[in-house]
Amino acid sequence: MRPVRRPTLAIGSVSVSVSAMDRRILHVDIDAFLASVEQLRDPALFGRPVAVGTGVVASRSYEAKARGVHTAMPLHEALRRCPDLVVREGDSRLAERYRQRVAEVIGRFSPVVEACSLDDFYADLTGVPLRIEQALASTVTVDAERSLGPLCRQLRAAVRAETGLSVAQGLGSTRTVARLATTKAKPGGICEVPAGRELDFLAGFPVEALPGVGPQASGLLHAVGVRTVRELWAVDRELLRRSFGARGDEIWRRCRGLDDAPVLASPALRSISRETSFEPRAEVGSQERPFLRAMLAYLLDRAASELRRLQLCARTVQVRVGHVDGVRAERSRALPAATDRTDEFVAAAGGLLEHLLGRRVLVRLVGVTLASLVAPGPAQGRLFDDGDAARRRLFAAVDAVRARHGFGALVVGGAAGLLGKLPRGPHGFRLRTPSLAK
Ligand SMILES: [Mg+2]
C-alpha cells in the first residue's frame, strides 16, 4: 500500500533523498537476553517460563511471554498469571560477557559495531556484502549485492553456535528503519527493508514506536488525532519544532526515513576480567594459601584462554581481593612484554596476591584482569625465543583440546590445586560466580 500523499508532505524531495541514500544499517537485538542467559547458565530452565528481575520483570523467556508475562510487569502480577514462573535475579557480569561475545561475532561481519543498550547493537554494512562475496568467490551476483539476507543468516548462525543466544535482525538505510525492522523480526528473524521502500515500511507504525517519541510526545500527538507515522507526515515541521524543540526536528526526519545519524564504533575491548566469590565460613579450605593461589591460576587461565581466542596479548595483569568486611584491594603489574601465556600471567600475579593477603580478614572474592591489550605484531614475534615458541605451541594445543571437549577437559599448572576441592564439569570448575560456560 502506498502512503497517502498529503499536500503538506514534500514527497518528491523525500524520495530523492532516500534514493540518494545507499547506506545499509543493521540492527541486532538479542531475544529475551537476560532470561536466555539464565537458561544457558542452568539448562534445566530450557523450555520453562523464566523471568529475570527484582520487583518488576526486566526480561522474560518466550515461554513466559506465552503465559502472559511481559517486560516491566510487576513480579507479583507475573506470578499470578504464571504460578510456575522461575524468577531469577540475573547476573550482570555473566550477561556482559555474553554481550561482548555477541559484539565480537557482529564485528566479524562489519568494521563498525556500536553497542547500544544492554542487548542491542547497530552495525554499518554499507559496502560490506560486495567485499565478503568477493572474498568467498570471484563471482558477485546481483542478488547478493541487493540483499544482505544471506549475510544476516550467517551472522545469526554464528551467534547461535558461539553463544547459544538467538538474535533478531533489522536492515534498512537509517538507524530508525533498521531498529523498527527488528521489531518485525522478533524472535529470531531477519527483516530487510529495501532501499526506496522506507516510507511504505514506516507508514503503519504507531508514532510511539519512533525513537524520540516518548509517552509525553505520543500523548500530545494522540490528543490531536495523530496515531500513526502516516498521520505524522501531515504535521507541519515548524509545528513539531515548536511543540518538541530540537527533538521535533529529529522526529520529522525520522518518520520520513531521513535520519542520517551514523553508526559509531564502540570503544574496543580494553580488558578481560574473571572473578569468583566464595563463602569463606562454609567452604572448608577456602582460606588456605594453596587454595587461593590455585584459584588465582584458574581465573588467569580462563582470562588468558579468552585472550588467545581473541588473538590478543596483554601487558598488564591485575589481581583483586575482596574481604568479608567489604574492603576490596587490588594491585597490578606491567609485564616486560605483552604475552598471551597463562604461565607468565600466573608467575607475575603470584607476588601480587601475596601482598593482598596481608590483612587478617577472611577472603570472600578473588578476581583478575588482563589489560593493556594489543594485537601480537611481527616485531614482537622476533623477540620470542625458542622456549617461548614451545610454550606457545603447548597453549595452542591446550586451547584446541578445550575447543573440542570443553574448558574442563584440561587443568593447567597451578589450578591443579583446586582438584578435589571444587565440583568440576565439562566447562571447568563450578564456581559460585560462574565464568562464561564453554
Ligand atoms: Mg532484546
Cα radius of gyration (the chain): 26
Cα of 282 vs centre of ligand 1, distance in Å, is 38
pLDDT for 382: 42
- Other C-beta atoms within 10 Å of 209: how many? 17
Cα of 119 vs centre of ligand 1, distance in Å, is 5
- Tell me the C-alpha distance between 25 and 15, whole Å: 18
Cα of 64 vs centre of ligand 1, distance in Å, is 15
Cα of 30 vs centre of ligand 1, distance in Å, is 4
- Other C-beta atoms within 10 Å of 281: how many? 11
Looking at residue 9, the DSSP 8-state letter turns out to be: S
Cα of 184 vs centre of ligand 1, distance in Å, is 13
Q: Which CATH class is domain 11-31+95-254?
A: alpha beta
Cα of 133 vs centre of ligand 1, distance in Å, is 29
CA dist list (Å): 246 to 103, 154, 174, 214, 251: 32, 39, 19, 14, 9
Label residue 91 exposed, middle or buried (CB < 10 Å: 0-12, 13-18, 19+): middle
Looking at residue 179, the DSSP 8-state letter turns out to be: H
Which residues in the chain are classed under CATH 3.30.70.270?
Answer: 11-31+95-254
pLDDT for 267: 65
Cα of 32 vs centre of ligand 1, distance in Å, is 5
Largest CA distance in the chain: 80
- Tell me the C-alpha distance between 244 and 94, whole Å: 39
Nearest to 228 by CA among 253, 210, 250: 210
- pLDDT tens-place values along the chain, 438 residues long: 444 333 222 232 333 233 335 789 999 999 999 999 999 999 999 999 999 988 889 899 999 999 999 988 999 999 999 999 999 988 877 888 898 889 989 988 888 888 887 799 999 988 765 544 444 444 444 444 467 888 999 999 999 999 999 999 999 999 999 999 999 999 999 999 988 899 999 999 999 999 889 888 899 999 999 999 999 999 999 999 998 888 899 999 999 998 888 888 776 667 888 888 877 777 777 788 888 999 999 999 999 998 888 778 898 999 999 888 888 888 989 888 889 999 999 999 989 999 999 888 889 889 999 988 777 654 444 445 566 778 888 888 888 888 888 888 888 878 888 888 888 887 788 776 554 432
Cα of 374 vs centre of ligand 1, distance in Å, is 31
Nearest to 118 by CA among 140, 91, 139, 142: 91
Q: For 72, left (φ over 0), alpha (ψ -120 to 50), or beta?
A: left
pLDDT for 189: 94
Which residues in the chain are classed under CATH 3.30.1490.100?
Answer: 271-429
Cα of 102 vs centre of ligand 1, distance in Å, is 13
Torsional sign, CA 210, 215, 221, 223 = positive
Domain 271-429: give its CATH code.
Answer: 3.30.1490.100
- Tell me the C-alpha distance between 57 and 96, whole Å: 19
Q: Residue 316: beta bridge partners?
A: 334, 371
Estimate the crossing angle of helix 149-163 against helix 92-107, to 10 degrees. Answer: 140
Residues ≥6 apart with Cβ < 8 Å to 288: none
Return residues with CB closer than 5 A to ligand 1 (ion).
29, 119
Cα of 438 vs centre of ligand 1, distance in Å, is 23
Cα of 164 vs centre of ligand 1, distance in Å, is 15
For the chain, report the end-to-end CA distance as a whole number of angstroms. Answer: 48
Which residues in the chain are classed under CATH 3.40.1170.60?
Answer: 35-90
CA dist list (Å): 4 to 50, 176, 207, 280: 43, 21, 16, 69
- Other C-beta atoms within 10 Å of 203: how many? 18
Cα of 244 vs centre of ligand 1, distance in Å, is 28
Q: Are 263 and 122 in contact (CB under 8 A)?
A: yes
Domain 35-90: give its CATH code.
Answer: 3.40.1170.60
Looking at residue 111, the DSSP 8-state letter turns out to be: S
Residues ≥6 apart with Cβ < 8 Å to 365: 275, 276, 277, 278, 320, 321, 322, 328
Strands (E), 40-139: 50-52, 59-60, 86-88, 112-115, 120-124
- Tell me the C-alpha distance between 160 and 30, whole Å: 11
